[in-house]
Amino acid sequence: MDFWANAHGHRLVPIELGDMQRGGMKEQIIRLDRFVSSYLKPSSEKACWSLEMATSVKEKAQVAYLAQHQLFEQIPELMDDIITPSLCGEAGPTHVNAWIGTGGTRTPLHFDSYDNLFVQVVGKKYVRMYEESETDKLYVLRTNDATSSYGAQGNMSAINCELEDFDAHPAVRNAKYTEIIMRPGDCLLIPARAWHYVRSLSTSVSVNFWF
């Protein structure tokens, strides 16, 4: 955290604040050093963020996420510290994104149109994955709400993973999934159109390669 604050603290970055479920988060542009001092360092005082902490009103106010940001294009010299996996094929990755956040971030259940190599660098994350074949049990959101882009691409689920409402969504009881705990150095292949939900168990840094 001292590295981010000292070497790149003057950089402005987009931070998602609060509850990411159903578009509840707010986005703010802040300096990287403020992100470290106001969010990452306080988060790191907790060795592990439980689900209860991640969903409590009090703790959610301290949840912040630099999510899916092309930080390596903003600060190209950071690529000196990144090894691009050969598994991304001959053409290499289409996008390389940084994910830096507090504990308690919860990325809603969704799928991407790219194959994805997801690498954990710092901290731990819980990942739940459903194969594409489970789609009919996952209550895909279809929205025509002109005031919100949430779910507009048809790749978001209405399921609130780990806090499912089985009365509203009974079919999800029968959806099969795989659970993974990501630790530093772990790399996970998430195939295109595979549904996945991610919760940070601690202050975390991840890098993903879409290809």
Let me know the angle formed at the C-alpha of 76 by 74 and 81, rounded to the nearest 5 degrees. Answer: 125
According to the model, what pLDDT value does residue 60 have?
87
Q: Is the pTM of this model over 0.75?
A: yes
C-beta neighbour count of 100 within 10 angstroms: 28
Please count the structural domains in the chain: 1
Q: What is the CATH classification number for the domain harbouring 93?
A: 2.60.120.650
pLDDT in tens, 13-63: 999 998 888 667 899 999 999 999 999 999 999 999 999 999 998 898 899
User: pLDDT-derived band of residue 146, with 50, 70 and 90 as boundaries?
Assistant: very low
Residue range of the domain that includes 106: 2-210
Q: Give the CA distances from residue 101 to residues 32, 54, 150, 156, in Å, rounded to whole numbers and listed in that order.
A: 12, 13, 21, 21
pLDDT in tens, 152-177: 679 999 999 999 999 999 999 999 99
